[in-house]
Structure 1
Amino acid sequence: MSRIPPWLFRKASRRSANIAALLPACRDLQSAMNEFRWLKEHVNSTASASKENLLYRLCRKRGQGYPLQYILGSQPFGPLDVKCRPGVLIPRPETEAYTYHLADLIKAGNLKTGEPGQRLGIVDFCTGTGCIPLLLYSLLYRKFEHLEVVGVDISTQAVSLSRDNIVHNVKLGHLPQPGTNRTLNILQQDIFQDEVIEKLQGRTWDVMISNPPYISRQVWYRGGGQIGHSVRKYEPSLALVPGNDISIPANWEHEDVFYSRLLNIAYNLKPKVILLEVGDEMQALRVISRLSQHKLSTNSHVEVWRDWPDLASSHDEESPLEITMDDGSSRLVSTKGSGNIRSIFIKLDV
């Protein structure tokens, strides 16, 4: 990361010492001014006896890289106000983008997942704050007479927070009240235990989605890739890095182990659509290559979505990905949208 030039600090200091304190995290003056405004609004909403001192402390805390969402306590996610707390991964705009795109495809009937006005089942693994299942529920609620959306996470903190987010957003009027025919639930389960399959089997799951831990131990401990210092310092490794106690199947990398398990779960639950967030292009290539050897690969259509799947691709982004198979052959997989490689979309004929 490049150093901030002294003239920029001087320019920020002329406006406010607090704005200058935010620069190391914000990197530019406009972003620092925006965050200062949000922090000031947050402080003014508190019952603090010394709002000026509190604002001073929070600006310096934020300037040291502490996530803004943990300070403010929430993050906008579509129409939702998603509560954020230390120990649970902060929702990202790229995750919001592919969730919206998936919902648009479902509503348009392009995926043949459920019929408008009838029944749709969605399960989200490694749900964190619950941002994905809550957003899908809010976007699809009026389209289906019977809607079942379930989020699954191993973390007690994440499950508690995601359930709080349901109550919070219903109270704000951002989320329709779940009822008998339209349900929204969060389960605490370890996806590496077969109990999670037993709990979910017997129901129709049209869509399976997941933003699992996918960062390698080397990147987490040494830095690099798309992960920043602030993420490694303040956000939970449980949500980002597969645990050391998870056994690694043959031909899989440690950072890809969740995808191996998710493909096995999908084989049992038989969704029509699978959407998996990945860390980068190389990981997408590895997972698709392993998918080609999996029982799910029969009659499957695969494409890769970029950060913003609903935007037109630039000339450099239009080329398909070339996947090298174990037998030395290659396969071309189309890409969709603009930005970095972000997720793998799998449509199954089941």
Structure 2
Amino acid sequence: MRSHYAHLGLLSQLSSALGHESARLELRWMMQALREASNRQRGSSLAEMVARRMSGEPLQYILGSQPFGPLNLLARSPVLIPRPETEHWTMRLSEYVTPSASRPISLLDLCTGSGCIPLLLCHLWPSGSVRAFGVDIASEAIQLASENTAICGFHTPSDNPPSQSPSFRNTFRPILSDIRDPTFLRKSGLYPPFHVVTSNPPYIPRREYDSLPPSVRDFEDRRALLGDPDSEQGDGLTFYRDIARLVANEKLLADDGVLAVEVGKGQAKDVERILQDQAKLPKTTIWRDPWLIERVVVATR
């Protein structure tokens, strides 16, 4: 009986912040996470989880996971939480590009975060059809991406330079590096060109950063959000210009390759021009997300 009243009290606390229906669902998910009692959740109590949620912490960090397509990826602050719009275009890309074990490809994901984009593609594409790499500046992101790689069952290749022998499995290797460093490819041991280059880079202008919800601003890494890291003013497009430079000067993309980058609301046309003019990728198309926002620019030669 005491636990029943405690449960009602916690539900009431959450309801005051989230509304009754959302609170009921979140409380149920918290209880399920506690029942499953993985190592990262051991020692938590329901009251502690509710207190964290009441402080504004995202539910995904409290539960320790986030669904992404058919995958269930680990989520941990401060690494960016995978979003539904990213899941949507990654699923679409898996149908737009169709590798096979007889025609395998290489993939590079810039600003990889949790590794969600390459890991979902590794899951969706046929076994032995892709060798994927992901780069991020944050050690926390690389650690989490490595854990997600292990959970998803895609071993990380260690041979350097890459072996040309066929593989029976798709592979993904997260790499700690700064894509804005002009020598990052050499330092990272990466060997362009790549058949597919993907990125969900930081793209929020500084003027918008301070108005982000506290659940985002206070818990997710600003390096994964702020699109103009070196300027108080800017349009949020710094990383797209860096990516364009890599494509144009470092031959990052194969001649018949595909570049797909996620963009913020209202940025698609500007990013399209950057890729056309600076990356010399004349063929571009814009994909909308499920909410009809122009969300992805896809570019080829």
**Fold equivalence (TM over 0.5):** yes
Distance 1:46 1:147, change over 3 A: closer
Distance 1:105 1:44, change over 3 A: same
**Map of 1:329 onto structure 2:** none
Distance 1:236 1:203, change over 3 A: closer
What's the CA shift string for 1:67-98, capped at 9, x where partnerless?
Answer: 11111111111222211111211111111111
**How far apart, in 2, do the equivalents of 1:149 and 1:258 lie?**
21
Larger radius of gyration: 1
**How far apart, in 1, do the equivalents of 2:204 and 2:218 lie?**
14
**How far apart, in 2, do the equivalents of 1:247 and 1:210 lie?**
23
- 2:288–2:295 Cα contact (<8 Å) kept: yes
What's the CA shift string for 1:242-271, capped at 9, x where partnerless?
Answer: 4643799xxxx3511000001111222124
**Map of 1:255 onto structure 2:** 236
SS of equivalent to 2:97: helix
Unmatched runs of 5 consecutive residues or more in structure 2:
158-165
SS of equivalent to 2:135: strand
Q: Aligned residues: percent identity?
A: 32
**Map of 2:272 onto structure 1:** 288
**Map of 1:213 onto structure 2:** 202
What's the CA shift string for 1:284-327, capped at 9, x where partnerless?
Answer: 22222333432514xx222211223xxxxxxxxxxxxxxxxxxx
**Map of 2:289 onto structure 1:** 307
**Map of 1:339 onto structure 2:** 292
Structure 2 residue 171 is matched with structure 1 residue 183: yes
SS of equivalent to 2:125: helix
**What is the TM-score when the length of structure 2 is the normalising length?**
0.82
Selected match of 1:195 from 167, 170, 183: 183
- 2:107–2:132 Cα contact (<8 Å) kept: yes
Structure 2 residue 9 is matched with structure 1 residue 17: yes
How far the C-alpha of 1:59 sits from its partner, in A, is 1.5
- 2:286–2:297 Cα contact (<8 Å) kept: yes
Q: Counterparts of 1:145-184 in structure 2 under 5 Å? A: 145-170=128-153, 176-177=154-155, 181=167, 182-184=170-172
**How far apart, in 1, do the equivalents of 2:215 and 2:38 lie?**
29
Unmatched runs of 5 consecutive residues or more in structure 1:
1-12, 108-113, 171-175, 309-337
**Map of 1:134 onto structure 2:** 119
Selected match of 1:105 from 96, 103, 106: 96
**Map of 1:117 onto structure 2:** 102
**Map of 1:82 onto structure 2:** 73
RMSD, matched Cα? 2.9
**What is the TM-score when the length of structure 1 is the normalising length?**
0.72
Structure 2 residue 27 is matched with structure 1 residue 36: yes
Distance 1:188 1:197, change over 3 A: same
**Map of 1:92 onto structure 2:** 83
**Map of 2:246 onto structure 1:** 265
Distance 1:292 1:147, change over 3 A: closer
- 1:197–1:265 Cα contact (<8 Å) kept: no
Alignment-mate amino acid for residue 217 of structure 1: R
Aligned residues: 279
Alignment-mate amino acid for residue 88 of structure 2: A
**Map of 1:5 onto structure 2:** none
